[in-house]
Amino acid sequence: MSAPAPDVSVVIPVIDEAAAIGALIAGVRAQFERLGVRCEVLAVDGGSKDGTPERAAAAGARVLRQAGPGYGAALAEGFAAAAGAYVLTMDGDGSHSPEAVPALWARRAEAEVVVGSRLVEGGGLDETPAARVVLSRVLNEFFRRVLGFPVRDSSSGYRLYRAGPVKAVRVRARGFDAQQDILLAIVDAGGRAVEVPIRYVWRKDGVSKASIGASGPGYLRLAGRRLARLWRRP
């Protein structure tokens, strides 16, 4: 007899996160176990050289070797492989605490996307370099006020999705602008989004994969598409 399908699939894109990935996976699994929720963890590996896949597998994850390039492809491949009715996405560097899982899970009936937000009351960017804090706040305010995004923290990667809507999204973005791309696709299709405060903690080990130099062109393309769409509205 086959095992029952998981209630939630946890998708974690990773590249060289051996220092954090084992504890992260163990923490997430423990949180869902306490909630009585069946979960699977999918670590989508983009070519790690430090033993990340082995540590992820040892912690109980199913490791997917990423086929396409970029963060957006990692998410898309994770969504395609997910078997749960819900999909939780997290960063693999330990900046997203598993302790926030119950708060996101409690809001799942309210929306198609539950965003773990650093920028609402109760949220925060702990131990994060000041330049990153300013950049994050300015960027997200631009997305919200100018481009009409329905949440304050549209760049957060800590999210709980209903599987049906997110699997229906064609993820075009390759970089970290995939977060906004996915959110807009779901909302424009009639989906709802809500925010739950989280405390984001700057990574303790390794090197951040996000940079404005790498992500900037994608954000500019996204802004151009969004503005064109807004101008075409009657």
100-124 burial string, b = 16+ CB within 10 Å, else e?
Answer: bbeebbeebeebbbbbbbbbbeebb
Question: What are the extents of the domains in the chain?
Answer: 8-232
Phi, psi of 226 (to 5 degrees): -65, -45
What's the Cα-to-Cα distance from 119 to each of 113, 170, 223, rounded to whole Å? 16, 27, 20
Q: Compute the half-sphere exposure of residue 133: CA atoms within 13 Å on the CB side of its CA.
A: 13
Reference 179, options 154, 152, 213, 143; nearest CA is 154
- Taking the C-alpha atoms of residue 126 and residue 103, their distance in angstroms, rounded to an integer, is 19
Which is it for the CA torsion 111, 113, 115, 119, positive or negative?
Answer: negative
Class of domain 8-232: alpha beta
Reference 157, options 225, 207, 87, 205; nearest CA is 87
The CB density around residue 196, as the number of other CB atoms within 10 Å, is 22
The CB density around residue 130, as the number of other CB atoms within 10 Å, is 8
- Taking the C-alpha atoms of residue 184 and residue 214, their distance in angstroms, rounded to an integer, is 21
Supply the DSSP string of 104-122, one letter for each residue. Answer: HHHTGGG-SEEEEESSSTT
Q: At what angle do helices 212-232 and 178-188 cross, to 10 degrees?
A: 20
Looking at residue 172, what is its pLDDT? 87
- The answer to whether the CB of 12 falls within 8 A of the CB of 44 is yes
Tens of each residue's pLDDT in the chain, 234 residues: 567 899 999 999 999 999 999 999 999 999 999 999 999 999 999 999 999 999 999 999 999 999 998 999 999 999 999 999 999 999 999 999 999 999 999 999 999 999 999 999 999 998 888 888 888 898 889 888 888 788 999 999 999 999 999 999 999 888 889 999 999 999 999 999 999 999 999 867 655 555 455 566 777 777 677 666 666 665
Its pTM stands at 0.90
The token duo for 169 is 């999204």
Paired strand residues for 161: 87, 113
- Taking the C-alpha atoms of residue 46 and residue 16, their distance in angstroms, rounded to an integer, is 9
Phi, psi of 148 (to 5 degrees): 80, 25
